[in-house]
Amino acid sequence: MFKKTCKKFLSILLCVAVLATCTVLQALAFSPTYDPSADTNPPTFALSKAQGAPGDTVKLELSLLNNPGIGGWKVKLNYDESALELINIDANGAFSGAFPNVEKAVVGWPSAVNDNTNGTMAIFEFKIKDSAKGDYNIEVVYDSKDVYSYSPVDIDGTREVYFETVNGTITVIEKHTHSLKLVEEKAPDCVSDGNKAYYVCEICGKWFEDENAETEISDQSSVVVPAKGHSYVWKYDEKVHWQECEVCGDKTKTEDHVKSETIVDTTPTADKEGKGHIDCTVCGAHLSDVVIPKTEEPSGEPTTKPEPETNPSSSSSSTPGGNSSSLVTNNPDGKGVVETGASEAVFIIFAVVVLAAAGVITAVTVKKKRANR
């Protein structure tokens, strides 16, 4: 009894030890320590910079860079509330379904699957208070459990993901009357972007649409006019072809012509040669003219066939023995059919066989009658 109890205890102890070992190995294998110094492009939450005078509103963009594929994130900004007031969070960025909380200066985003999207997470809009002076650091923070990816090998199905952070800055400048400088309109060319006309304050650096600084340009990319691209057409000489831009004259690399098969312009006849030409199948250049030889037979003239020989309607010929050996008759299609004397021979043989059989039957009958007497 004691031995059985010991065996059971040892079995349970062994199972517990195996389970604990597997758990430790799983943790070591699937949850390695992240070393930021070993990553040249680490996942990053980055906040932009801005400047303004007391009473102004400024916007900071929070972006996600080098996303390794995560299932959710929640980020908070810490700032000096005595100098700055957060008045709005625009979470309509690259992450659909992100939710903002202005009171707590938090923005979050949950997903049902891992997503490797990069881009704008949210735009934070601050108002600079009248007492503000100098530079103010805006700290980007997050709780490690709030940034995660889905992982089927982990016990709870998720794994924490390490992100570096880049803080933002708001620089407060003295109140001033904007000193605007006009940036003139520039037309785009084939390869370079152009721009609409706009004004830049030489003191605070803000952009405006008008000379009175009434309409600020918050999205500076909106003034860009994209390059048009080249308008290429084919050019060629006797040996090569290339493309050339009609606007700026830019040329592509020259290449040899690719000859087509002979293209027939005039069909040849027995009396007259035809005409054709060869083009380049790439650029369409005319490369050469071709003379097509005459045909062998006259074109359009019917061919006369010799009339077939016609046999007489009936005739006979004699064999050397003087017997009629064949008979030629005409079918409706005009072809002669020869009937030989084989049919007469068959008839004679058949008659001989019948007579012989009759003789045998008669002989047998007579013999039976004599035997019965």
DSSP state of 293: P
Which DSSP helix (H) or strand (E) runs through 119? strand 119-128
pLDDT at residue number 221: 92
Residues 255-282 pLDDT 10s: 999 999 999 999 999 999 999 999 999 9
pLDDT at residue number 10: 55
pLDDT at residue number 3: 52
pLDDT at residue number 39: 64
Which of 49, 96, 48, 45 has its CA nearest to residue 66?
45
pLDDT at residue number 226: 96
**Residue 326 identity:** S
Phi and psi dihedrals of 299, rounded to 5? -85, 130
In angstroms, the CA 105 to CA 346 distance is: 123
Catalogue all structural domains in the chain, each as residue range(s) with its CATH number.
36-173 (2.60.40.680), 176-229 (no CATH), 237-292 (no CATH)
Digit-by-digit pLDDT tens for the chain (373 residues) are: 555 555 555 566 565 555 555 554 444 444 444 455 556 889 999 999 999 999 999 999 999 999 999 999 999 999 999 999 999 999 999 999 999 999 999 999 999 999 999 999 999 999 999 999 999 999 999 999 999 999 877 666 789 999 999 999 999 998 888 999 999 999 999 999 999 999 999 988 899 999 999 999 988 999 999 999 999 999 999 999 999 999 999 999 999 999 999 999 999 999 999 999 999 999 999 999 999 999 986 555 555 555 555 554 444 444 444 444 444 444 444 444 444 455 566 667 767 666 777 666 766 565 666 666 5
Q: Which two tokens stand for residue 19?
A: 């389970």
- Residues 324/310, Cβ–Cβ less than 8 Å: no
pLDDT at residue number 32: 43
Query: Which contacts of 248-256 are long-range, i.e. CB under 8 A and separated by 24 or more positions?
Result: 248/189, 248/190, 250/190, 255/282
Buried b (16+ CB within 10 A) or exposed e, 170-198: bbbbeeeebebeeeeeeeeebeeeebeeb
pLDDT at residue number 320: 45
pLDDT at residue number 1: 56
pLDDT at residue number 321: 46
Beta bridge pairs of residue 286: 279
**Residue 359 identity:** G
User: pTM value?
Assistant: 0.53
Q: Which two tokens stand for residue 330?
A: 């005409």
In angstroms, the CA 84 to CA 63 distance is: 21
